[in-house]
Structure 1
Amino acid sequence: MGSPAVGRHVVMSVHPQFAEAIMDGRKKVEFRKRPLADDVTVVWVYATAPVQRIIGYFEVDGMHTAHPTDLWRKFQKVGCIDRVAFDRYYAGTSTGAGIAIRRAVRLDEPALIAELLPSGVPPQSFAYVDNSVMT
């Protein structure tokens, strides 16, 4: 699996319907409860069960940290999530992150998580990839 961009990479667990929306270009922002580090340039998309594979990656176009209400106002049309699910996800939190997606690339062949994370264990949310794996 070749490296798509310089900078730091993460593997992110994403429910299959959202992973597909990212790869299809419909989902332009990924909502998270905590932001990525500023130097992250690439997010590898691990589609959770039943897929359980890395299906592609996207280049980060920016990180937006704000109150969930502000994130909804800014990204509701490009987040591919309804308001009820969004509010449920952010219930009890005062800050969230919107990861803007520049460009998504689907892998020709989905990959096992162990190709990027030696433990072979998918992250609960996301995990930083050791740069030596990318060379």
Structure 2
Amino acid sequence: MTVVLSIKPEYAAKIFAGEKLVEYRRKSIKNVEKVIVYVTKPVGKVLGEFEVAEILTANPEELWERTSRIGGIGKEAYFEYFRDSEQAFALAIKNVKKYEEERELKDYGLKMAPQFFAYV
């Protein structure tokens, strides 16, 4: 399946630059093969996509140990993001494609940015 994820501009830039090889999430996303990257405000556009190689699941401490070198996020921000979470998820990124032209959410049948994710 394909999902649209809302990703902050700083992290989206790292994904498209090949510096961020996992995308962290607090909620599980099942059966996802492709992610459409919606970059949050001030950009507010769909800029590209990537395929999901695998979905990693662990407690936040273990996932940090396994992915910190490829996560594109600092330790403090990571643990703040997963504060009060018993489980953490990471989408392993492969085959990143940045679109030549920006796209709108409406191109995917969405009226607003998904808070967590939206299947399309």
Tell me, yes or no, whether TM beats 0.5: yes
* Correspondence for 1:21: 14
Counterpart CA distance in 1 for 2:62 and 2:116 is 22
Which AA in structure 2 matches 1:26? E
Q: Partner amino acid for 2:98?
A: R
What is the one-letter code of the residue matched to 1:100?
Answer: A
> d(CA) in 2 for partners of 1:95 and 1:10?
21
What secondary structure sits across from 1:107 in the alignment? strand
- SS of aligned partner of 2:33: strand
Amino acid at match of 1:122: A
2:87 is matched with 95
Which among 22, 40, 51 is matched to residue 43 of structure 2? 51
C-alpha distance in 1 between matches for 2:15 and 2:91: 12
Deviation at 1:124? 0.6
In the alignment, the residues of structure 2 paired with residue 46 and residue 55 of structure 1 have an alpha-carbon distance, to the nearest angstrom, of: 6
Deviation, structure 1 residue 125? 1.6
Aligned-residue offset at 1:119? 3.6
Displacement after TM superposition at 1:106 (Å)? 0.1
Query: Unpaired runs of 5+ in structure 2?
Result: none
Aligned-residue sequence identity (percent) comes to 33
RMSD, matched Cα: 0.8
Query: What corresponds to 1:132 in structure 2?
Result: none
SS in 2 for 1:40: coil
**1:68 corresponds to 2:72:** no
CA offset at residue 25 of structure 1? 0.9
* Cross-structure match for 1:126: 117
Instruction: State the 4+ residue runs in structure 1 displaced beyond 2 angstroms.
Output: none
Q: Deviations over 1:38-71 (max 9, x none)?
A: x211000000000000000000000011100011
Q: Distance in 2 between matches of 1:103 and 1:26?
A: 13
For 2:93 and 2:65, the matched residues in 1 are separated by: 17
- For residues 110 and 76 of structure 2, what CA distance do their matches in structure 1 show? 35
Alpha-carbon distance, 1:102 to partner: 1.2
